[in-house]
């Protein structure tokens, strides 16, 4: 049984699972896995229940990490949603995380790391918005609170004859955060010029040292966001900023040796200015010591990296053996934050 989650958290999770248990949903996962991997569904169904109850593994984690293809020892090397949420809840101050949940608050708190101009429509005048779009004819509009790339939109203001009306429409739809588009590094633009391809870096600040726990490079397909909801995919990144496997979406048979649109190699990918990326997140991670466990989204520009946002629940990024052939996850790299949660 996993000991990386406190007993009270595990009991709470187990109780929630019992009260919301839907055997049809679990069976649906089991039959899908069996079909994709040429196995028999009943043993997978039982195994999923066992790992959910005693090894902190949600059904979707079991599916997306290909647990049916892994040995018990290999499975124990993978992070799971429950472990990650437990760590975030145990270590991150519940009040101070609000600085990360709201993008407007985040932009104010981390202004020196953004490298771009932005505007709060509800805290500015129509004249200020007019001047903003004159400087930046293409704008990025965001809902202040949103996840997975939802609530993010791109507008060419030249297509709108009445800028005051556009402003009113944006406010009416809750798209009150307006940002200057980010220019990305030429190397990244070779992969997908139409999307800012961001790097997710999870860090833990123990009060003295900032530990880089995990990194993943996300790639877009031309949409405003590189998230899965917009057709994006990712590859895992090692401690030197290098890809260590094909890209994938977390879904079955999603394997990208090259970018499907540009043809650029995913397995040979190297995060540009990696040392500067690490320096950026190291400095940012010390800004709010009461929120020590964060997943940062970083965009690398021509002159250096900038922050997009910080996620106080860092997001689960793991390799998938059916796509990458890699049978080891990132839990050991999370050891510093796991040990801290036990104190």
Q: What number is the average pLDDT over the span 242-260? A: 88
Q: 20-29, 116-125, 167-176, 229-238 — which is least confidently predicted?
A: 20-29
- Higher-confidence residue of 291 and 14: namely 291
pLDDT band at 114 (very low <50, low <70, confident <90, very high): very high
Mean pLDDT, rounded, for 176-195:
97
> Can you tell me the mean pLDDT for 181-193?
97
Please give the mean pLDDT across all residues of the chain. Answer: 92
Q: Using CA atoms, how far apart are residues 271 and 110, in angstroms rounded to an integer?
A: 22
Residue 80 domain-assigned (yes or no) = no
Residue 109 belongs to some domain of the structure: no
Confidence bin at 7 (pLDDT 50/70/90): low
Looking at the structure, do residues 97 and 242 belong to the same domain, yes or no?
A: yes
CB 210 within 8 A of CB 238: no
pLDDT score for 16:
65
Same domain, 198 and 273: yes
Check whether residue 200 and residue 336 sit in a common domain: yes
Judge if 129 and 246 occupy the same domain: no
Residues 206 and 252 in one domain: yes
Q: How confident is the model at residue 229 (pLDDT cuts 50, 70, 90)?
A: confident
**Are residue 173 and residue 227 in the same domain, yes or no?**
no
Contact 45, 27 (CB under 8 A): yes
Site of tokens 């040392």: 275
Given a cut of 60, whether residue 6 has pLDDT beyond it is no
What's residue 234's pLDDT?
95
Q: What's the pLDDT at 11?
A: 63
Q: What is the CATH number of the domain that holds 143?
A: 3.30.1490.20
Q: Answer yes or no: is pLDDT of 194 > 70.
A: yes
CATH of the domain at 252: 3.30.470.20
How many angstroms from the chain centroid is the CA of residue 244? 18
Tokens of 332: 């050991």
Show the domain range for 36.
7-66
Condensed to tens digits (0 to 9), the pLDDT of residues 24-77 reads 889 999 999 999 989 999 999 999 999 998 898 999 999 999 999 999 999 999
- If asked whether residues 46 and 134 sit together in one domain, one would say no
Would residue 14 count as lying in a domain?
Answer: yes
- 217 and 165 inside one domain: no
**pLDDT band for position 2 (50/70/90)?**
low
Q: What is the dihedral of CA 57, 63, 64, 65, to 10 degrees?
A: 60
- Highest mean pLDDT among 18-27, 262-271, 311-320 belongs to 262-271
Cβ–Cβ under 8 Å, residues 288 and 99: yes
Interval 293-308 mean pLDDT: 97
Mean pLDDT score, 243-259: 87
- Would you state the torsion angle of the CA atoms of residues 142, 145, 149, 155, taken in this order, to the nearest 10 degrees? -10
Task: Specify the pLDDT at position 17.
Answer: 59
pLDDT on residue 230: 82
- Last residue in a domain, options 179, 208, 232: 179
Residue 304 placed within a domain: yes
Distance separating alpha carbons of residues 288 and 292, to the nearest angstrom:
7
Compute the average pLDDT of residues 208-233: 92
Q: Are residues 54 and 123 in the same domain?
A: no
Note the pTM of the prediction, 2 decimals.
0.91
In-domain check, residue 75? no
- The full length of the chain comes to 343
Residue 73 lies in a domain: no
Question: Does one domain contain both 172 and 190?
Answer: no
- Cα 325 from Cα 102, distance rounded (Å): 38
Instruction: Indicate if the pLDDT at residue 110 is higher than 90.
Output: yes
- Residue 54's pLDDT is 87
Is 223 part of a structural domain of the chain? Answer: yes
Q: What are phi and psi of 92, to 5 degrees?
A: -90, 130
pLDDT band at 341 (very low <50, low <70, confident <90, very high): confident
Nearest to 331 by CA among 210, 212, 214: 214
pLDDT digits (tens, 9 = 90+) for 65-76: 999 999 999 999
Q: Residues 21, 147: one domain? A: no
pLDDT of residue 251: 73
Asked if residue 214 and residue 98 are part of one domain, the reply reads yes
The contacts of residue 69 (CB under 8 Å, 6+ apart) are 37, 321, 322
CB-count burial class (<10 Å; 0-12, 13-18, 19+) for 122: exposed
What would the DSSP string read from start to end of 17-29? Answer: HHHT--HHHHHHH
Residues 6+ apart with CB under 8 A from 319: 65, 236, 245, 326, 328, 329
pLDDT class for 20, splitting at 50, 70, 90? low
Contact present, 99 and 287 (Cβ < 8 Å): no
The DSSP line for 191-228 is H-TTS---EEEEEEE-SS-EEEEEEEEEE-SSSS--SG
Measured at the CA of 210, the angle between CA 207 and CA 215, to 5 degrees, comes to: 145
Domain count for the chain, please give it: 3
> Which pLDDT band, with edges at 50, 70 and 90, does 1 fall under?
very low
**Cα–Cα distance between 177 and 158 in angstroms, integer?**
19
Please state, in angstroms and rounded to a whole number, the distance separating the CA atoms of residues 315 and 306: 19
Does some domain include residue 47? yes
Confidence of residue 254 (pLDDT cuts 50, 70, 90): confident
């Amino acid at each position: 049984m996993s000991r990386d989650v406190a007993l009270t958290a595990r009991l709470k999770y187990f109780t929630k699972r019992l009260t919301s248990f839907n055997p049809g949903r679990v069976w649906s996962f089991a039959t899908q896995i069996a079909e994709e991997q040429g196995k028999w569904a009943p043993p997978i169904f039982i195994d999923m229940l066992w790992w959910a109850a005693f090894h902190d593994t949600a059904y979707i984690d079991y599916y997306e990490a290909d647990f049916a293809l892994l040995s018990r020892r290999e499975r124990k090397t993978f992070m799971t949603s429950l472990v990650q949420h437990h760590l975030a809840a145990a270590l991150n101050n519940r009040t101070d995380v609000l600085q990360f949940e709201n993008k407007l608050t985040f932009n104010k708190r981390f202004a020196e790391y953004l490298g771009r101009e932005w505007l709060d429509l509800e805290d500015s005048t129509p004249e200020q918005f007019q001047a903003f779009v004159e400087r930046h004819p293409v704008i990025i509009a965001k809902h202040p609170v949103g996840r997975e790339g939802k609530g993010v939109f791109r507008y060419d203001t030249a297509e709108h004859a009445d800028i005051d009306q556009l402003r009113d429409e944006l406010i009416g739809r809750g798209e009150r955060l307006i940002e200057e588009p980010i220019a990305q590094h030429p190397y990244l633009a070779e992969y997908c010029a139409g999307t800012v391809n961001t790097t997710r870096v999870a860090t833990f600040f123990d009060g003295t040292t900032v530990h880089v726990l995990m990194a993943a490079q996300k790639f877009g397909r031309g949409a405003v966001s590189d998230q899965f909801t917009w057709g994006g995919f990712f590859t895992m990144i090692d401690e030197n900023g290098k890809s260590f496997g094909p890209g994938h979406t977390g879904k079955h048979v999603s394997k990208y040796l090259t970018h499907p649109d540009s043809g650029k190699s995913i397995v040979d990918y190297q995060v540009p200015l990696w040392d500067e990326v690490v320096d950026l997140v190291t400095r940012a991670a010390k800004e709010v010591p009461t929120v020590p466990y964060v997943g940062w989204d970083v965009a690398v520009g021509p002159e250096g990296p900038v922050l997009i946002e910080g996620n106080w629940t860092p997001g689960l990024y793991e390799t998938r053996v059916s796509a990458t052939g890699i049978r080891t996850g990132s839990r050991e790299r999370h050891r510093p934050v796991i040990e801290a949660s036990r104190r």
